[in-house]
Homo-oligomer: A and B are copies of this chain.
Amino acid sequence: MPEIPVELYEKLKEILGNRMKTEEDFLEKYSRDETAELQGSKPGVVLFPISTEEVSQIIRLANEYMIPVTPRGAGTGLSGGAIPTPGGIVLSLEKMNKLIEFDEANLMITVEPGMITSEIQKIAEKYNLIYAGDPCSSESSTIGGNIAENAGGNKVLKYGPTGAHVYGLEVVLPTGEVTSFGGKMVKNVTGLDFVHLLVGSEGTLGIVTKITLRLMPKPRYSVALLAPFESVDAAISAVPALIKDAGVMPSSLEFMDNPSIKLACDFLNVSFPYSEAGAHLILEIEGNDKEAVADEYEKLGDICQREGALEVFVADNRNTREKLWKVRKAIAEALMVYSPVHCMEDVSVPTANIPALLKGARQIAKAHDLGTIAFGHAGDGNVHITFIKGKSSIEHWNTHLKTALANLYELTKNLGGCISGEHGIGLKRKKYLPIAVDQAQIDLIKGIKRVFDPNNILNPGKIIDV
């Protein structure tokens, strides 16, 4: 455990003044993120820089004194990526949350990393544009955190994950040097693609201090469909057909099993149609022409019915659509309240293998006598299978969860998938990484980490141990 020398405290104080915090309540609050099953660990200090220059100064000092630095956005991460090295520095980017430039001519926006994602969505909307990144946590997570984990969310099927929208990054490297990757160019093959190497690198290769995102014209019409099915299997079996047969790409294709919906509805104190159905799909279709959108949702609705939907509800106004999404987006929070001992997974498989994944996951839960619920982004193959302790003892949970996770990851690998689609490896899945990727890749990750961060001071111990 590193110990911050008094001399370093003093130098940091000089840079940050009262934006340096060592009070117990701060250290406690910044000891963890939202990963349910991980313990936190207390940092020695929490820093709130407000400029790239300050970030650079902090990193230079940390490097000199060899004290680990863990960058942090809103702390909503789900893989322990923001859990600090005990006694180290937490570098919170919450106060770097400003709009730097809205560039309407180039359809680009440049922001600081601490801006809440939904703020970006709102700014874009004002200009009849969209920022197409849409993680369920958009009201609380920061764009910097979204970039660290290459957050996915509800519109990946049509628009891709966070990284698909990121065109330029200003980065403070682990040496303290400041550089810029990419820019307002739609095309760029000048050197290596550092922008997308940084995206998803979980704060281990650099601290992002400015972000340029591409915006898109806002589709004039959005319609959501809600399709209840008798069982999980019936709902999930419809997913490959919806992707393959309709000839249109919905912007969203989400899945919620019965316990997920009940949790969310209880939490929000709302009702939901066909709340006793085994599972629901939510689809969203967007377009600029009302009739064209209607044709498309009819086609998707027909496929749902052909595949056994009990009914297909059409939500063609903002109010109804938002009600649906509110339930979908509340599941993770409801889990924290009603079932705090749980483990939310994030495996991602080829879409056609979703039925096999869900079936296998149920068998694993049953074999280990764990509860399980499932919800998520079925259309892109990323389902949040969640193990819950339920009524079993904590000892049983602690013993069986590890094996259940290893089994789930092996199943995923066998189905051609990966162990994290949008939450990241972080601390949580580090020891399971060798199930997912071979030794050559682990060696490459270590090698790249050493190139960027020779002293291993930036978020050490996340993804891999160097």
Q: Residues of A at under 8 Å CB distance from B?
A: 103-108, 128, 149-150, 152, 156-157, 160-161, 163-164, 173, 177, 179-181, 183-194, 196-197, 199-201, 216-218, 220, 240, 243-244, 246-249, 287-289, 291-292, 295-296, 348-352, 377, 380-382, 416-425, 433, 436-438, 440-442, 444-445, 447-448, 450-452, 463
Residues of B within 8 A of A450 (CB): 451
**A187-B421, A192-B463 are known contacts; what are 7 more A-B pairs with Cβ within 8 Å?**
A161-B187, A161-B189, A180-B438, A185-B417, A187-B348, A189-B422, A189-B425
Alpha-carbon distance between A295 and B277 when the two chains are bound, in angstroms:
41
Given A179-B438, A291-B291, do A150 and B189 touch, yes or no (CB 8 Å)?
A: yes
Determine which of B104, B190, B292, B451 lies in contact with A289 in the assembled complex, contact meaning CB atoms within 8 Å: B292
A88 to B429, CA, bound (A): 43
Which among B192, B200, B348 is the interface contact of A201 at CB below 8 angstroms? B192
What are 22 A-B pairs with beta-carbon distances under 8 A? A105-B244, A105-B351, A152-B187, A157-B186, A179-B440, A179-B441, A183-B418, A185-B348, A186-B348, A189-B418, A189-B422, A190-B437, A191-B436, A191-B441, A191-B463, A192-B448, A193-B200, A196-B196, A217-B247, A217-B249, A288-B295, A292-B292
List of B residues within 8 angstroms of A351 by Cβ? 105-107, 186
Cross-interface CB contact of A192 among B248, B418, B445, cutoff 8 Å: B445
Closest to A167 in B: B350
Query: Which chain B residues lie closer than 8 Å to A104 at the CB level?
Result: 244
In contact, A418 and B244 (Cβ under 8 angstroms): no
Choice from B149, B287, B349, B445 contacting A292 with Cβ under 8 Å: B287
Is A156 a contact partner of B187 (Cβ separation < 8 A)? yes
**Would you give the shortest CB distance from A156 to chain B, in whole angstroms?**
6
Among residues of B, the one whose C-beta sits closest to the C-beta of A216 is B249
A103 vs B244: C-alpha distance in the bound complex, in angstroms?
Answer: 10
Q: A193-B196, A350-B108, A352-B105 are in contact. Are A183 and B416 (CB under 8 A)?
A: yes
Given the contacts A177-B440, A190-B425, A418-B190, A185 and B381 also touching, CB distance less than 8 Å: yes
Do A420 and B190 have beta carbons less than 8 Å apart? yes
Contacting residues, chain B, for A150 (C-beta < 8 A): 187, 189, 193
Output the nearest chain B residue to A178 by Cβ-Cβ distance: B440
Question: Contact between A441 and B382 (Cβ–Cβ < 8 Å)?
Answer: no
Contact A444 B189 (CB under 8 A): no
Min CB distance A341 to B, Å, is 25
Residue of B nearest to A241 (CB): B105
Q: Are B444 and A194 in contact (CB under 8 A)?
A: yes
CB distance from A435 to the nearest CB of B (A): 10
CA separation between A418 and B186, bound complex, in Å?
10
Q: With CB as the reference atom, state the residue of chain B lying closest to A292.
A: B289
**Candidate in A164, A192, A243, A422 with the most chain B CB atoms within 10 angstroms:** A192
What 9 pairs between A and B have smallest CB-CB spacing? Answer: A289-B292, A447-B451, A187-B421, A105-B352, A186-B380, A184-B350, A196-B196, A190-B418, A292-B292
Interface pair B433/A190, CB less than 8 Å apart: yes
Contact between B184 and A416 (Cβ–Cβ < 8 Å)?
A: yes
